Amino acid sequence: MKRSVKLAFLAGTLMLAGCQSTGWSGGFGVVAATEEQYVSTDQPQRLGREHFARGNYALAERYFLSAVEQAPADGVSWIGLAASYDQLGRFDLADRAYDQAAKINGKTPQLLNNHGYSYLLRGDANRANALFRQALAASPEDAIINNNIAILTRAQTIP
């Protein structure tokens, strides 16, 4: 029973946690879509970002994949692709996308935080903590990184 309460708490806090997946500040929230909000563009990265923000992770994955196929050196789209894979539970593909983004842009605080968040979703607290700490060392004032560390800490202290 205690384990199920801990898992429920972690699931709830993860829903509120911040992931900086494609460079937007403040994390991602689900936006209620109206017809006026739909994007009419052929820019796959923008479509990926819009669908990710709306919680349409399969469509976000599709557009981010198209973006990296069109522009393989687009590190932001690789991070968006990785975050989409994370939300779809395709952690094997997420790791590949994070690796590609790191080759392009280096291990930025955003990338380290997002990859740490990926491990948090998987339940691997040790790896998540290591990546969050690396991100924090590079960007100590980042509220999203600090929030993710607090969530991880609370999850680990629940009996």
CB of 145 within 8 A of CB of 109? Answer: yes
Q: Give the span between the Cα atoms of 93 and 99, in whole angstroms.
A: 10
Please report whether residue 30 resides in a domain. no
Nearest-10 crossing angle of helices 44-53, 57-70:
160
The pLDDT tens digits for 8-36 are 445 444 544 555 544 433 344 334 444 44
Residue 10 lies in a domain: no
Domain that holds residue 126: 107-159
Same domain, 113 and 155: yes
Amino acid at 31: V
pLDDT tens digits for 44-82?
999 999 999 999 999 999 999 999 999 999 999 999 999
Same domain, 88 and 117: no
| Residue 138 falls inside a structural domain | yes
Are 74 and 111 in the same domain? no
Residue at 22 is within a domain: no
Domain check: are 58 and 86 in the same one?
yes
Q: pTM of the entire structure?
A: 0.75
Measured in whole angstroms, the distance separating CA 158 from the mean position of its chain's CA atoms is 24
Same domain for 158 and 124, yes or no, is: yes
